[in-house]
């Protein structure tokens, strides 16, 4: 049996298979609509502001008035600077060597939005992440797996990159791309889902 | 391409699919041998001592002299008390309500052992975990999924229980059952694996 049941039509505005997996593992029925928006941070924009703005923008870009839309954006930040996806292997190596042996932050913003009623809830969650001290050889071996190339900050905490992170402080699912404790709370609060067994 | 290559025969002495997945995702070739040992904590035994003892015992129970054996044991501890697997749904609910809204500890011990040479390396890693504040209704809804029944501490941080943990302090993979940064370091140190591309 599942713990939750869906009460409203829910759309996930994200192409991330990891975000999909989180909702799917909870047994929630939802649709996926991927919108194409410009994800470039504004000049001087703080990580928290950036992910909140982009999550809201992604949610509002889905034109399904009566449905609830869940959207999210995740960035990796080092000393307040947002790290994007690396352009090539050399770029990925340079990014990983900057993270090596240090703490950085992963910010996710998520929005839950219903166009018909104008209801909008946006939250941001930050997790601190400590990176392994990397040798240039270990860095290159990881980069050659190809995993860093489509990842913000040049690593994935799931998959082959799991050994790169000995320690985090905060939400793990937030680093993966969707802070599930906070998302579930928002879905329950707005009655998009209900506990199984409750009226 | 993978980041590591195996240099010695490696045996994982664990039936846990989650531990198997961590090694498999790194592309390491290994065999699985599950040994049957008594996992009951000794009277008054501290969590760190217990997981180290059991990991060592599991590793030494595999009779394959020339291979390296990796074994691990994980426990959930609240106020120094080790919580086992719940006996039934009522027991699971009681355990989860004790964890509700509080921090607890997850300890994993792992051993890397080669019988032929007597080489033995044992480490323990602790992660602090903050649990969601649960209502009895939310607790029951989760317990009815059946997930808690075969889990120490009555929850799984992977899968349906992902929403139960808003925050951890320490290694995530350690909570799942194998602290991967530390395990990889031990495998490299003992030359059980090497970086791909190195002689």
| Token pair in block for residue A154 | 């040049």
pTM to 2 decimal places = 0.95
Contact A163 B180 (CB under 8 A): yes
User: Minimal Cα–Cα distance from A43 to chain B, Å?
Assistant: 31
User: By three-state DSSP, how is residue B31 classified?
Assistant: strand
How far is the C-alpha of A122 from the C-alpha of A73, rounded, in Å?
11
Which of the pair, B108 or A35, is modelled with greater confidence?
A: B108
How far is the C-alpha of B127 from the C-alpha of B79, rounded, in Å?
14
Active site annotation includes B88? no
* Arithmetic mean of pLDDT, B24-33: 96
Nearest to B171 among A146, A166, A195 (CB): A166
| Token pair in block for residue B177 | 């059952």
Q: Give the model's pLDDT for residue A18.
A: 94
C-alpha angle with apex A120: A116 to A122, nearest 5 degrees? 155
User: Minimal Cα–Cα distance from B147 to chain A, Å?
Assistant: 10
DSSP-derived secondary structure letter, B134: -
Contact B1 A144 (CB under 8 A): yes
Nearest to A148 by CA among A78, A86, A100, A74: A86
Mark B58-95 as b/e (b = at least 16 C-beta within 10 Å).
bbbbbeeeebbbbbbbbbbbbeeebbbbbeeeebbbeb
Dihedral of alpha carbons B13, B152, A131, A96, sign: positive
Mark A93-103 as b/e (b = at least 16 C-beta within 10 Å).
bebbebbbeee
How far is the C-alpha of B164 from the C-alpha of A182, rounded, in Å?
10
At residue B112 the predicted structure's pLDDT band, cuts being 50, 70 and 90, is very high
Nearest to B160 among A3, A137, A167 (CB): A3
Which contiguous run of DSSP H or E holds residue A191? none
Q: Give the model's pLDDT for residue A97.
A: 98
How far is the C-alpha of B106 from the C-alpha of B122, rounded, in Å?
17
Within 10 angstroms of residue B36's Cβ, the number of other Cβ atoms is 8
Judged by a CB distance cut-off of 8 A, whether residue A162 touches chain B is: yes
At residue B199 the predicted structure's pLDDT band, cuts being 50, 70 and 90, is low
Q: Give the model's pLDDT for residue A199.
A: 60
Q: Which member of A73, A79, A88, A91 is catalytic?
A: A73
How far is the C-alpha of A157 from the C-alpha of A144, rounded, in Å?
16
User: By three-state DSSP, how is residue B6 classified?
Assistant: strand
Q: Give the model's pLDDT for residue B114.
A: 98
Tens of each residue's pLDDT in chain A, 199 residues: 899 999 999 999 999 999 999 999 999 999 999 989 999 999 999 999 999 999 999 999 999 999 999 999 999 999 999 998 999 999 999 999 999 999 999 999 999 999 999 999 999 999 999 999 999 999 999 999 999 998 999 999 998 999 999 999 999 999 999 999 999 999 999 999 999 977 6
How far is the C-alpha of B166 from the C-alpha of A179, rounded, in Å?
8
Q: Which domains does chain A have, with CATH numbers?
A: 4-195 (3.90.950.10)
Q: Which of residues 177-196 of A touch B (CB under 8 A)?
A: 179-184, 195-196
- Which of B124, B166, B173 would best serve as a mutation to test chain A binding (most A beta carbons within 10 A)? B166
Contact between residue B163 and residue A26 where contact means Cβ atoms under 8 Å apart: yes
Q: Give the model's pLDDT for residue A197.
A: 79
Each residue of B61-94: pLDDT tens digit? 999 999 999 999 999 999 999 998 999 999 999 9
Cα distances (angstroms) measured from residue A135 to each of A21, A130, A142, A166: 33, 16, 11, 15
Nearest to B166 among A132, A138, A182 (CB): A182
Tally C-beta pairs within 8 A across A and B: 113
Average pLDDT value for chain B: 96
Q: How many residues does chain A have?
A: 199
Q: Give the model's pLDDT for residue A151.
A: 92
């Amino acid at each position: 049996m599942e713990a939750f049941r869906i009460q409203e039509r829910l759309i996930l505005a994200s192409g991330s298979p990891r975000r999909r997996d989180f909702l799917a593992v909870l047994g929630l029925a939802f649709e996926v609509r991927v919108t194409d928006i410009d994800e470039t941070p504004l000049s001087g924009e703080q990580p928290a502001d950036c992910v909140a703005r982009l999550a809201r923008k992604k949610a509002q870009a889905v034109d399904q008035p009566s449905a609830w839309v869940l959207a999210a954006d995740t960035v990796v930040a080092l000393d307040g600077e947002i790290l994007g996806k690396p352009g090539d292997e050399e770029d990925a190596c340079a990014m990983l060597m900057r993270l090596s042996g240090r703490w950085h932050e992963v910010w996710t913003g998520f929005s839950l939005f219903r166009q018909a009623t104008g209801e909008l809830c946006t939250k941001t969650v930050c997790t601190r992440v400590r990176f392994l001290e990397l040798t240039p050889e270990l860095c290159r071996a990881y980069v050659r797996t190809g995993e860093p190339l489509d990842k913000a900050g040049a690593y994935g905490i799931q998959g082959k990159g799991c050994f790169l992170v000995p320690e985090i402080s905060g939400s793990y699912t937030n680093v993966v791309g969707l802070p599930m404790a906070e998302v579930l709370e928002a879905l329950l609060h707005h009655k998009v889902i209900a506990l199984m067994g409750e009226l």
